[in-house]
Structure 1
Amino acid sequence: MPLLTRFVMKHGASPQEAADAAQEAFVAAYAQWGSIRFPARWLRTVATRAYFRAKLREDLPGELPEGRNAAHLPTDIQLSEQEREVYAALAELPPRQRQVMAWVYDRYTGAEIAEELGITEEAVRQNLRRARVALKARLSERGVL
């Protein structure tokens, strides 16, 4: 759960938003565990989609019903100051670069990332290259590097 939560945080989610998305992914996985071919990839994809769906709902006008009881969500995600800076820098990247970096940080290959995101391997490499340059610049400005 903490690894999946951190993965979603790399997409710009707060710890609470990431925990919500991770929990939703695990609930969905439980219902169909026997048919999931690559569980780690599947959970990452479902959790990320859950986070983005929640963000879309957040932007809709009007009142929404109360969410899950926060007391049952994991809140033990401890980040060092350096990790906080990295997550903040990741949040400033364009969405596609942020997605690619999140998958790269979790040690997926370019081919696997391309398949999951529905883009070419060249697009993965290009976004990765741009994201690394941007992250290096942002982290240098913050004195992290």
Structure 2
Amino acid sequence: MNQTVVEAGLSPQAKQLLAAADVDEVAMAPSADMFELGARVQVLSKGTMFAVRAQRLHELYRRHSGLDELSPRDVARLERDVLRAPVAEVWRETERYWQRRDPGQCSRAATDAKHRMALLFRWYLGQSTRWAIEGVADRRADY
């Protein structure tokens, strides 16, 4: 449990979750870095919804060509349970990030709806790490 040591960059809240976990309280979830490839990483399952939500995002990604293909029900669940914001708002934030980091990703997303969906879904996966580092209380189920 390297992430529970004093020097680790995690919040005390996230360290507490990890310290209380047993070996069988982990799951595999899609990796933010290699989301499109379906690569998976080990994550905490006890007390969190991250693995379930991340897997759901990957299933939506695999089954659809873009966000426009999602059913109204899927969009409502996505906005309510995962993003906690309208898709358009999260996309604007995602786009700002990629404009600074790698503008080619935005150019590709403008013409490739599936890539745009992947970047948006990766927003959630990446933010979960930030929420754990910062100890964002209302996002505890997401780290």
User: TM bucket by the smaller chain?
Assistant: under 0.3
Query: TM-score, normalising length from structure 1?
Result: 0.27
Flag the structure with higher helix content: 1
Flag the structure with higher strand content: 2
Query: TM-score, normalising length from structure 2?
Result: 0.28
